[in-house]
Structure 1
């Protein structure tokens, strides 16, 4: 059962194989051209370097992350000072000198709106199937109607002990509607032996966009 405690335990024990130190190349290649100051939401952000990349483009970046360890490690790893304020059950950690903040807490308790864009590299694939519709609906309520979306998913066969979970293409379209389009994909079986098993014939990473 994938619960909040499941993720907190993963961070406590350092089992964060999903984390990547480098900026995601899909982000650099496919992020839309937005005006400086645009509000960008990054749900379930962990301690991703992608946050820093987005902030350095001049966007107002808000990450949402459950684990306090992830938040502290993000600021520490990037030598950033920050201030913290309590907002109900959430903690708001704002970087000094950068348009970047991380909201610590359950994403479903995060209710700020008006975001111009969303970057989801690791959120949808971390959520079990029975919660994905609720996740997408809650996320859409945070975005303006003309918001951009850059989404990265996984699709694979064989046994799954996820997360990360396989989210089939038809489910992505069902969740987001026919305005979402696949723009790139790559079979990770050909690149990394970690994804290989006797029961798999493909392990595909897929990039999707909504461009209003």
Structure 2
């Protein structure tokens, strides 16, 4: 299976993040977490109503409420919500979606992610790749940093994005608060190290 990226964009929030929200501190619980990128891939059968431009526009609009996702992780201490944007790739796949579903292969499935080697995301919190199959089937691959967003948070983001893409005037959208550091303030932990599953070490000093 060959996957060719045909466009690379950076999607920024449709409205600038207010200055008083530009820095989101990591909570004590976040400090203890490893910096791990987690993948999600959503598969959709052929849909003639799919509108790529609307998908991008709705993402830009929804990022105003999920503004840390468009920022950068700094020094494992806070998120710089500077509206840097989310990497958004469009790719063409030279096979039918049914072939991949019937005979799934991990090596091939990884090609549907924006960064198959997920550590290549760097300091970004989210990257997205929309894959178009020969049958007009679609696979949307996401990589996100679990240090700031857990799985439930990402499900909430995706559900809100889907609602916005279906109906720009949807009133079902609820935005989270990013104030966990108020409940669990960050701490200085001299000498404390977090060892990831990849063997990397991070020391708090």
Q: Normalised by the size of structure 2, how large is the TM-score?
A: 0.27
Instruction: Give the greater-gyration-radius structure (CA).
Output: 2
- Which structure has more RCO (C-alpha within 8 Å, separation ≥ 6)? 2
